[in-house]
């Protein structure tokens, strides 16, 4: 017998779930009661029973024989391995430290939460269509504002059409790796450098060449002898050394790219976090 109650869960869904559980547990076999009989036994409408049966049929738990009714698909029990839920362990207590030197974490106090919430609420009340696919390069309004900001803050002249918004660093690195795969299979990166960038290009089967870092950034002499046509650098604030490439070496680096038909991936890592001076213009 099935227990059907007046709850927030619809009657047909309650019936469907209970029958499905019986099928999975192998406690229900053979032919199911007719829709009329189930309706009469449980004092529910035929439409309710039919909706439950239809859902079971669509998912393959039961099958239909013309003029005979619905039957349990007994292969479900023999082939379906019921996964037992994993035992949850107590959440590990995080150690508390007086000072947190983790390099990719900012103080929670510096984020303008109130202003963010105010602007978010303002935008969300406007006409926002949640049910359509956005532009694959990112929202055009956001890209236009980024283009304006880059021009004033980073001395980068670009249009909104040249900007791609991704879900994170790894995502954009995979996009770049795909774009250049047919052009070159050699990728150069600073050493020591950002391991995530290196890992992405390794996963894309690039040959990796590591170029040592000096007090003035990437070693330009070593760069002359590499096969790579694609170079990843963090010129404004090298990770993890913190070195900044001086203007003279920046010019030489750009000249290297022009002379060798190579491309530079500039990671603007931490470029806007400066205690003593304005942000340095991009490479």
- CA 59 to mean position of chain CA atoms: 30
Whole-number pLDDT of residue 10? 93
144: left (phi over 0), alpha (psi -120 to 50) or beta: alpha
Whole-number pLDDT of residue 125? 82
Whole-number pLDDT of residue 108? 80
**Tens place of pLDDT for every residue, the chain, 283 residues?**
888 888 889 999 999 999 999 988 888 889 999 999 999 999 999 999 999 999 999 999 999 999 899 999 988 766 666 566 677 666 666 778 888 787 667 778 888 999 999 998 988 887 677 778 888 999 999 999 999 999 988 889 999 999 999 999 999 999 999 999 999 999 999 999 999 999 999 999 999 999 999 999 999 999 988 989 999 999 988 988 989 999 999 999 999 999 999 999 999 887 777 677 777 788 8
Yes or no: say if 239 and 266 are a contact pair by the CB < 8 Å rule: no
Whole-number pLDDT of residue 128? 72
Whole-number pLDDT of residue 90? 63
Greatest Cα pair distance, the chain, in angstroms, is 89
Yes or no: say if 164 and 172 are a contact pair by the CB < 8 Å rule: yes
Contacts with 8 (C-beta within 8 Å, 6 or more apart), sequence order: none
User: Can you tell me the distance from the alpha carbon of 135 to that of 205, in angstroms, rounded to the nearest whole number?
Assistant: 29
**Global pTM exceeds 0.85:** no
Query: What does DSSP say about strands 62-65 and 186-191: parallel, antiparallel, or unpaired?
Result: unpaired
Whole-number pLDDT of residue 98? 85
Yes or no: say if 143 and 162 are a contact pair by the CB < 8 Å rule: no
Whole-number pLDDT of residue 162? 96
| Structural domains for the chain | 11-79 (1.10.10.10), 135-164 (no CATH), 169-266 (3.40.640.10)
User: Can you tell me the distance from the alpha carbon of 47 to that of 35, in angstroms, rounded to the nearest whole number?
Assistant: 9
- In angstroms, what CA-CA distances link 198 with 124, 131, 194, 214? 38, 36, 7, 19
Residues 202-229 have pLDDT tens digits of 999 999 999 999 999 999 999 988 989 9
Residues 241-278 have pLDDT tens digits of 989 999 999 999 999 999 999 999 999 887 777 677 77
Peptide bond before residue 192 is cis, with ω within 30 degrees of 0 = yes
């Amino acid at each position: 017998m099935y227990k059907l109650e007046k709850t927030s869960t619809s009657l047909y869904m309650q019936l469907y779930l209970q029958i499905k559980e019986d099928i999975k547990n192998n406690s229900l076999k053979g032919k199911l009661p007719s829709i009329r009989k189930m309706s009469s036994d449980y004092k529910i409408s035929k439409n309710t029973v039919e909706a439950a049966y239809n859902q079971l049929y669509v998912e393959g738990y039961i099958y239909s024989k013309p003029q005979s009714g619905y039957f349990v698909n007994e292969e479900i029990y023999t082939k379906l391995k019921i996964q037992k839920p994993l035992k949850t362990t107590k959440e590990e207590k995080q150690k508390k430290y007086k000072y947190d030197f983790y390099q990719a974490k900012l103080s929670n106090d510096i984020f303008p939460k109130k202003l963010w919430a105010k602007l978010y609420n303002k935008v969300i009340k406007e006409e926002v269509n949640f049910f359509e696919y956005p532009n694959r390069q990112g929202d055009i309004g956001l890209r236009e504002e980024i283009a304006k900001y880059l021009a004033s803050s980073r001395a980068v002249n670009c249009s909104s059409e040249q900007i791609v918004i991704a879900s994170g660093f790894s995502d954009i690195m995979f996009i770049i790796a795909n774009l250049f795969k047919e052009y070159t299979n050699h990728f150069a990166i600073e050493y020591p450098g950002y391991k995530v960038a290196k890992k992405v290009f390794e996963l894309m089967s690039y040959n990796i060449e590591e170029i040592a870092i000096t007090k003035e950034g990437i070693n330009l002499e070593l760069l002359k002898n590499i096969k790579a046509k694609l170079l990843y650098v963090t010129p404004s604030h090298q990770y993890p050394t913190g070195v900044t490439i001086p203007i003279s070496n920046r010019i030489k680096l750009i000249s290297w790219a022009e002379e060798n038909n190579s491309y530079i991936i500039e990671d603007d890592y931490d470029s806007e976090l400066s205690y003593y001076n304005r942000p340095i213009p991009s490479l």
